[in-house]
Structures are given as C-alpha cells and as structure tokens.
Structure 1
Amino acid sequence: MDRNFDRRAFIKAASAAGIVGLAGCAGGPSEGESTATTAGEDTTEGDEETTAAGTGSGTDEETTATDGSVDGSDVNIAMVYATGGLGDGSFNDQAETGIERAVDEFGLSYQYSEPDSVSQFAEYQQQYASSTDPNYDLVSCIGYLQSDALAETAAQYPEQDFMIVDSVPTTESGDMFDNVAAYTFQEHEGSYLVGQMAGMLTNMDFAAGAGETSPDESVVGFVGGVEGSLIGRFEAGYRAGVAAVDSDIEVQSTYVGSYSDPSGGREAAQAIYESGADVVYHAAGNTGTGVFQAAQETNKFAVGVDRDQSVTLPDYANVILGSMVKRVDTAVFEASEAVVDGSFEGGTAVTLGLEDDGVSLVYGSELGSEIPSEVKTAVDEARQSIIDGEVTVPTDPAEV
C-alpha cells in the first residue's frame, strides 16, 4: 500500500546534520556488534555533515528528548547497515545521520551492526527480532541486498516491526508484509541531472580545482557497485541526462561487484579516465572512494552519491563536481519518529523523488562555485521538467 510521505518530517530532516557523541546500550546480537545511544552536541558548521562510526563507549545511559518533543526514552531501535559499513562517507553514513537525529530529538536508544557479507543479514535481523533485553521496537534494514533475508525474517517474527531502504519485500503471493515499511527512491531522476552536468562539461574547456576536461574527447563514465536493477537506475538516468545534452557523447560504464572495494573502484575508474573520460559518476558506496582517488591521479573530475561527498570525504573535494544526494537519513528518521509517536504502519511503501527533495544534485563545496552558470541553469530546467512530467527518465540502461 502506498502512502503519502510526511512532508513535515522530511522538511525537518532535510535541514538536519549528523550528530556526534555516542554511548552504549544492551541487548541484540552477540557477535560483531556495535552500540550507540544518546545524543551528543551538534558540531556541524555551515552545510558540513559530521558522523561518528563505531565509537560507542560501551556504557549504559538513559536518554530523554533534548528539545521538548515527544519523549522516546523507552524506545529501542536496531540498525543493520549495508555491507561496506560505517565510515563510507556515503550510503551507510547517510542512514546513520537519520538515526542520530532521532536520538537527538526523541532520546531513544539504538544499537547497530555492520555485516561483512550478505550472508550475515538474516543472522543480525533475527537476533534483533528475537531479543528480549531489550525488546526492539523497530529493526531498520539498510539496503536492497537485505530484502531476501528480511522476507524470511519478517515471516518468522510477525510481531516485530521492520523498515527497509531500497526494496519492497513481498510474500510468496506478492503482498507486502504487514510488519514492514519500505522506502525507495527515484535514483534515476537525480542521476539524470548528473548526466546533464557531466555531458555539458565534457564538451567544454573547463578547469577547476585539481581537474580539467579534454573537450575533444567527449567521454564520460559510470562506476557501479553490484550490478542489478537498483544501480541500473542510477546508470540509466545518468545516460539519459548525457544523451539529452549530446547523443554523440560516449558513456563508458563498469561494475566492480562490491560496495566495499576502493581499490577495485580506483582500478575501474582509472581505465575509464585513461580512455578519455573527463567525468566519472559512481554509485558504489565505499568502492567509490577509489573513483575519487583515480580522479586526482588523472587530473579529472568525479561525482559522488548518497551524501555530499565533497564534505564527507574532504580530501577529494578538489575533484568532486557534486553528488547525487539520496535522503536515506530521511527514511530512517521518519520511521523512527513514527515508532516514537505510535503512528508506524507496516505494509506501506514510500517513494521519494525530485519533487519531494528525496534525491537531488548538490554541487561540490570546493568546485561548485566554478561550474558555469549555463550548466546550472540547464540542470535547474531539467529538474523542473522532470517534476512537471515533461521529461520521463528511463530506469533501465538498455532503454537509453
């Protein structure tokens, strides 16, 4: 069942920054676990986002809401992150920003786990679901690769509430699980804007920071994590945006097969840059860090994903033109808020796109001001055309 997105919750979350300062809580998985509760101070300056990964103190601390909002101090939430773990400056860190903000606003407690492989998802999900000390009010599953495991777990624990990002698990009959809320995004829409920017810049004589284009080449690239329908939406939107600028621009793409292989990302991007690409866009989690390394080594440009990676990975800000931000933090925060105020609904699916600011192109903190105004104007116009329904963005790279 679809439902309208809570715009009030989104607007609040869209202005939120990461929170630092973690302490511990008890219960949940017995192996490979990390714990976190209670809000620390907001150390964000300007538009920068800060996160803390795996820095729990291991002490128990009762928490209460710090801003006079609904008290969620008796709420416990479990986070099962995607492979690649915290500190990726991208997908998992964006999810962490959402739960940290919920801690800050409501005083809830949470515990998190960082699986090393897909095979561990079911283990962590089920250990949280079966925990009695504490009982978890919600188990948040970050990433579409958890979908199969969650379909099994949700059926085994019908009284446990879950949320998942990037997938809508269904029963054998094709129905949603009554105890699962799903959040998906229109990644192809935001990626179309990235393609517009990359396509225009590769046809220009453009230099900024540590990068420069070779306009005679007219080549751009894409590096994906694990090949499939989700990352295919990133590639499809990107290709369509490039083609809308100039159908003669060559788009080279490759998939590394992992979201946690920076060296593989570096090797893949290097090959694309060496074949003439000026800009490489990645949708590869921590693997994308290697794309930024290759951009610096070849004096070219890159585009990040999920968070403003010019801020989360500042060492590469001099080659990051922008990032296709995906508000995973909003999904995590909204689900947590719903648990606190008693409005959580399983069996629901929320999809966020450009119109909801669920995805967007954010220009890099260092290079954004250098991008020509004509490029930004074209991107703005494309964004509005998609929102108005004048442009339909494909979801399958084969359609471009």
Structure 2
Amino acid sequence: MRRGLKITLVSVTGAALTLSASACGGKKADSGDDGDGKKTVKVGLAFDIGGRGDQSFNDSAAAGLDKAKKDLNVQTEEISAKPDEPDADKESRLRLMANKGYQMIIGVGFAYTNAVVKVAKDFPNTKFLVVDADQCKVSGPNVLGACFAEAQGSYLVGAAAALKSKTGTIGFIGGVNVPLIQRFQAGYDAGAKKAKPGIKILPAKYLTQPPNFDGFKNPALGTEAAKGQLDAGADVIYHAAGGAGIGVIKTVAGAGKWAIGVDSDQYNLPAVADAKEKILTSMIKRVDLAVFDFVEGVGKGSFQSGTKQYDLKNDGVGYSVSGGKVDDVKAKLDELKAQIVAGEIQVPTKP
C-alpha cells in the first residue's frame, strides 16, 4: 500500500456512501466535514481490558489502527474498556462513536461481540468489525468478525518449547479460563507432544476465572504463576495472558529459563527489554492485519459481512524468529506448519 493514499468510502455496490448516516432515534450523525468541503473518513476503535500499552493483544490492534491512519489518511479515535464492565457500557461506547459519525467502528475482543451486533442494527450505514468474534459468529449485513486460528500458531510454539527444553518439562499459563484461551493451550500441548512424545506438560495454570478478568492485566498474578511452574521443573513457559504475561516473561527470564510470548513479537517490546534474550519465540496473532484489512476493505468498497479467518495459510497467525533463538529448530517448525496448511495435521481447539 502506498503511503499517503487517502481512501474514499464507497458502498459495496459502488455507489458513494453517505457519510451523514442517520443515527438511532432519527438524529443525523456528524457529517465529518473537515472544513474545506471534503468528507473526513473516521474510524473508531474500542479497546479490550488493558487498552493501548498492554504490550500484547490491544497493542497489536493499535498497530493496525496506526498503520491505517498513516497509510490511508483516516481520522481515528480510541476508547478503553473498564474492568468487569457490563455489556451496556460497551454498547454506549459504540453508540457514542456511531453518533459522532465514525463510518467504521471496531470492537477489540470477544466480549464486544453482542454489543457490536446489537448497535450495528441501529446504524446500517456504519461498518463494524469485532476482533476475536465470540465462537467466530456474528450477524448483520454491516458486521464483520475477525477470527484467528490461535491453536495453529500455538501448535508451532509448543513444538519449539518441547524441542528446546532441557528438563523435559514445559508449562502453560492462561490469563482467564475461557474457551478462547483454552484454544492456545490445546494447540500448545498438541504441538509439544508431536515434536517430542515424551515431553512432560505441567497442568495448565489459569490466572483467574470469569467474570474476573484480572488475569489479562495484572502482572503480579503472572509472576506468582510462573514461580509455581518453575518450581515444578518447567524450563519453557508459554503465556497467553495479555498484560499479565509481562510478569510471566520477566520471572521466567530472571530464572534463566525460556519464556514464550503471545499476540505480538514480544522480543521487541520495551516492557521486557531486560528479559528479551530469554524470549524463545512468540505466537504471533495478526490483530493488526485484521484491523488494517477492515479499514482498507471498507474504503475500497470490498467490505463483506460475516467472518474472516486468519490462520497459518494466510499468515494470520505464526511464530516469531527475533533473536534467532529458534533458528536451530526452524526447519522442523516450518515442516509442521506445511503439514497443518496441507490438512495433514488437524490441530485440536480444546484441551
């Protein structure tokens, strides 16, 4: 995509999209006129718990929004979620942006699914994206759900963990015990067993149970869980715990063992700069790609409702090689990736 390209919104039928879409109750949304007669394309993004700066899932979404702002010349707004908030708060947040004339609105995280689907019905001229659509299901002609094959990417880092372990014992720490995070665990366990059938995988540790979502944002919880798995003999630990995973990485690295990051390439994160040499790899989840694809697609008039899957086949998930820590096992990991893409390996999605 060339820099400086300003997108012009069109509908999927090719006709010009009216930017002053009617809002709920018959009111008209802000027209988005930038003062010189041109219509400003506006994109609103509502973060999951932790928001921008979580060094993980939300930051990946933020990277996609930043790229859209830079490459597509759109105006953006961000709003963060509150811990343990009801769905009504999410709806209010989305309606606020829709009423302000944001032609594209993004809800980051599976918890936004119901709110997005409900609000989208009242704003038919606004396009909505929910990242990590719950159970990969959405409804509505103006709603897109981005889904990720987390289990596939986790399979590869699980194989890396088993191949690099010297004690023969590895661990997994999940943020909150929900089906989404269980997919990370399922893939990780399966990949480790495939690469080294005799590997010992400690019982998975989940930091919190819903409706308590502190397991995605409290590093102290990650620290304590990591200590427990280290004491049990693990020398490679994979976390899928969002901001709480920073505590996992620092604790594991401090013990001289291998940590595996999640969502973004955590080797490059400032928050764990002092631990980076003990980050074996990260399971990459291209939330940034989903966000950018959505904005670009609406701008080009190629938006399609329903769901879009990001997996190993389209590089929507994968593993990082920063630091060269998995160079010696990369050939094996890529062989496993090819087998998954070809359908020769079916990766489980439940532990």
TM-score past 0.5 threshold: yes
CA gap of 1:300–1:139, structure 2 versus 1, over 3 A, is same
Contact 1:265–1:289 (CA under 8 A) maintained in structure 2: yes
User: How far did residue 133 of structure 1 move?
Assistant: 6.6
User: Could you list the per-position Cα deviations for residues 345-394 of structure 1 after superposition, in whole angstroms to 9, with x for gaps in the alignment?
Assistant: 3x3210011110111111233xxxx5465522111111111111111111
* Alignment partner of 1:179 out of 127, 138, 142: 142
The alpha-carbon deviation at position 152 of structure 1 amounts to 3.3
Amino acid at match of 2:297: A
User: Is residue 254 from structure 1 mapped to residue 198 from structure 2 by the alignment?
Assistant: no
Contact 1:168 1:176 in 2 (8 A): no
Structure 1 residue aligned with 2:153: 190
Matches within 5 A, 1:334-373: 334-345=293-304, 347-365=305-323, 371=325, 373=327
C-alpha separation in 2, matches of 1:300 and 1:396: 27
- Say which structure is richer in helix: 2
DSSP 3-state at the match of 2:140: coil
Aligned partners of 2:66 and 2:238: how far apart in 1? 28
Corresponding residue of 2:247: 290
Q: Which residue of 1 aligns with 2:211?
A: none
Offset, 1:218: 1.2
TM-score, normalising length: structure 1 = 0.73
Q: Paired residue for 2:89, among 116, 123, 126?
A: 123
Candidates 170, 175, 182, aligned match of 1:220: 170
Q: Secondary structure at the match of 2:85?
A: helix
Q: CA deviation at 1:103?
A: 0.7
Indicate the SS of the match to 1:194.
Answer: helix
SS in structure 2 of the partner of residue 302 of structure 1: strand
Q: Which runs of 5+ in 1 are unaligned?
A: 1-64, 203-215
Aligned positions of 1:88-237 closer than 5 A: 88-119=54-85, 122-131=88-97, 134-168=100-134, 176-202=139-165, 217-237=167-187
2:27 alignment partner in structure 1: none
2:59 and 2:163 map into 1 onto residues whose CA distance is 30
| Aligned 8 A contact 1:125 1:150 in 2 | yes
Q: 1:125 to 1:316 in 2, by over 3 A?
A: farther
Q: Residue 130 of structure 1: CA displacement?
A: 4.5
Q: Report how far residue 141 of structure 1 moved.
A: 0.5
CA contact (8 A) 2:46 2:94 kept: no
Partner residue of 1:280 out of 209, 230, 237: 237
Report the CA distance between 1:92 and its aligned residue.
0.6
Between the aligned partners of 2:282 and 2:181, the Cα distance in structure 1 is 15
Structure 2 equivalent of residue 264 of structure 1 = 221
Q: Contact conserved, 1:169 with 1:176, CA < 8 A, in 2?
A: no
Question: Which residue matches 2:345?
Answer: 391
Paired residues, number: 311
SS in 2 for 1:318: helix
Change (3 A) 1:140 1:292: same
* Paired AA for residue 99 in structure 1: L
1:300 CA displacement: 0.9
Offset at residue 106 of structure 1 (A)? 1.6
Mapped contact 1:122–1:153 kept (Cα < 8 A): no
RMSD, matched Cα: 2.2
Give the whole-Å Cα distance in 1 for the aligned partners of 2:109 and 2:98: 25
User: How far did 1:111 drift?
Assistant: 0.5
SS in structure 2 at match of 1:355: coil
- Contact persistence 1:122–1:150 (CA under 8 A): no
1:248-281 deviation digits (Å, cap 9, x = unpaired): 3221211112210110011111100111001000
Q: CA deviation at 1:101?
A: 0.7
Alignment CA distance shift 1:107-1:372 (3 Å): closer
User: Is the partner of 2:133 in helix, strand or coil?
Assistant: coil
Q: How far, CA to CA, are the matches of 1:128 and 1:325 in structure 2?
A: 28
- Distance in 1 between residues matched to 2:121 and 2:158, nearest whole Å: 41
Q: CA deviation at 1:120?
A: 5.4
2:276 corresponds in structure 1 to: 317
CA distance in 2, matches of 1:130, 1:185: 28
3-state SS of 2:176 partner: coil
Whole-angstrom CA distance in 2 between matches of 1:333 and 1:132: 19
- Asked whether the equivalents of residues 129 and 139 of structure 1 are also in contact (C-alpha less than 8 Å), the reply is no
* C-alpha distance 125-343 of structure 1, shift in aligned 2 (>3 A): farther
Offset, 1:145: 1.9
Letter in 1 for 2:317: V
Q: Which runs of 5+ in 2 are unaligned?
A: 10-39, 209-214
Letter in 2 for 1:288: G
Contact 1:144 1:165 in 2 (8 A): yes
Q: Indicate the percent of aligned positions where both proteins have the same amino acid.
A: 33
TM-score by length of 2: 0.82
Distance of 1:185 and 1:139 partners within structure 2: 19
CA contact (8 A) 1:81 1:142 kept: yes
How far the C-alpha of 1:160 sits from its partner, in A, is 3.4
